[in-house]
Amino acid sequence: MKTDVKLHPDHQFDADLLDYAIAQLRRSRTPREPVPRALHLSLPEVLPELGMGAQAALRELSPIALDGAAQLFHPGYFAHMDPATPTVAWAAALWQIAANQNLLHPDAAPAARELERRVIDWLKPFFGMAGGHLVPGSTIANFTALWAAREVRGIRRVIASDRAHLSARKAADILGLEYAAVAAGPDHRMVLDDRTDRADVAVVLTAGTVATGAVDELGVTNAAWVHVDGAWGGPLRFSDRYAALLDGVEQADSVGFSAHKWCYQPKGTAAVLFRDAEAAHAAMSYGGGYLAVPNVGLLGSAPANALPFAATLLAWGRAGLARRIGAGMEMARAFADRLRAEPRIQVWGEPVTGVVVWRPRDVPSTHLRDRLEDAWVSLTDIDGEVWLRCVAANTSADLDWVMDRIRAALDAIRS
């Protein structure tokens, strides 16, 4: 019986290669222009016939992957719902990629499947849900929730705010459901009349709209199915101080949120949760001759995305996550106050979920952003008008840094 082990070179631990990769990563953490404005892809236009070797490949890709990346951790980056990831998630993600488990098969992910279940068990009580599973993002979470609504409750129509994420309409189209957008109020919140009969309707409520972070009234109960899209605002439920902003979420039939937003996880990490998870999962469960257990949900092969998430939650605990979210909420309020104190700037409204929307009074928003140096903010369209948007997702953002650059840009435009 053979007992000596000889791994293929691809599977051997290459300490020199990993040291090189980490050295490049360490170098890239020095702040420079937060979003490179000029990029040149120097890779060959056709697939090379012969390889150049692992370290040479990384050397070739470093300017693209690191120097060409937006520095989401930059003190002047105050733009999107895209946070920098914590170091503990990097380390766990390295394990995840090296192990390359596939949640489709118990014998290809024996521990990883159980880890995902445990993470879901940690998450579900904060939303009043019974179970669920991880998905790559809230677009898939919204689709999965409406799919369950169609199969479990027979819904035929979907109602959402005209401020809802486009994925709600996209899911309705794919599922063959009628879609209606209801006008939100001037504060971008949708408030529905409970007297209307919605026997075949799924209502999608938004907890943190993309443009302004508004939260719909969540206590809708007279629909066949209620889904809360908490892609951005959902993690507020982990905060003792701010959980009440999402009161009523526990009455929903399903909830989705993106952990790669306000839980600071790598892209491709989100959750869909159900009040009756057994019924929802049964309605989207498929078997096959090559499967040892049913395949539940949209994905077939699925990565062990619970690993970086679990590492982060264990490292920080609920209190640590809540502290970071709370700091973002306070940062947004403080930034809005500073903007209001600047007479050349107009603020759209009070930040509800860490999203600040504003614009210069006398010049187009795009002109100001173009003149910003060493800082970055995002653009958003509200009723045909372009505003600037700052989202408190970057725990390294420096308000003094950002405000200094905004004032300098306004001065440069005036001169």
Per-residue pLDDT of 350-379, as tens digits, reads 999 999 999 999 999 999 999 999 999 999
Residue 188, classified by CB atoms within 10 Å of its CB into exposed (0-12), middle (13-18) or buried (19+), is: buried
pLDDT above 90 covers what percent of the chain?
93
Instruction: Indicate whether 37 pLDDT > 90.
Output: no
pLDDT of residue 193: 77
Per-residue pLDDT of 260-280, as tens digits, reads 999 999 999 999 999 999 999
Q: Which of 230, 103, 81, 120 is nearest to 168 (CA)?
A: 230
pLDDT of residue 121: 98
- HSE of 54, CA atoms in CB hemisphere, 13 A: 13
Instruction: Indicate whether 336 pLDDT > 80.
Output: yes
| Fold of the 90-315 domain | Aspartate Aminotransferase; domain 2 (3.40.640)
pLDDT of residue 222: 86
Residue 292 tokens read as 């040892």
According to DSSP, the residues that pair with 94 across neighbouring strands are: none
Task: State mean pLDDT over 183-189.
Answer: 95
What whole-number distance in Å separates Cα of residue 135 and Cα of residue 258?
9
What whole-number distance in Å separates Cα of residue 360 and Cα of residue 346?
6
Residue 144 tokens read as 């999965």
Cα torsion at 357, 360, 361, 363 (round to 10°)?
Answer: -130
Instruction: Indicate whether 192 pLDDT > 90.
Output: no
Average pLDDT, rounded, for the chain? 96
How many helices, marked H, and strands, marked E, lie in the chain? 11, 13
Alpha helices by DSSP H, listed for 100-137, are: 110-123
What CATH number has the domain spanning 316-414?
3.90.1150.10
Q: Which of 258, 263, 233 is nearest to 248 (CA)?
A: 233
Residue with tokens 């809005």: 336
**Residue boundaries of the structural domains of the chain:** 90-315, 316-414
Instruction: Indicate whether 140 pLDDT > 90.
Output: yes
Q: Which of 177, 217, 190, 209 is nearest to 81 (CA)?
A: 209
Helix, coil or strand: residue 31: coil
Instruction: Indicate whether 255 pLDDT > 80.
Output: yes
Instruction: Indicate whether 195 pLDDT > 70.
Output: no
Write 168-173 long-range contacts (CB < 8 A, 24+). 168/142, 168/204, 168/229, 170/139, 170/143, 171/139, 171/142, 171/143, 171/146, 171/147, 172/146
DSSP assignments along 186-207, one per residue = TTS-----TTS-EEEEEEEEEB
Per-residue pLDDT of 203-232, as tens digits, reads 999 999 999 999 999 987 789 999 999 999
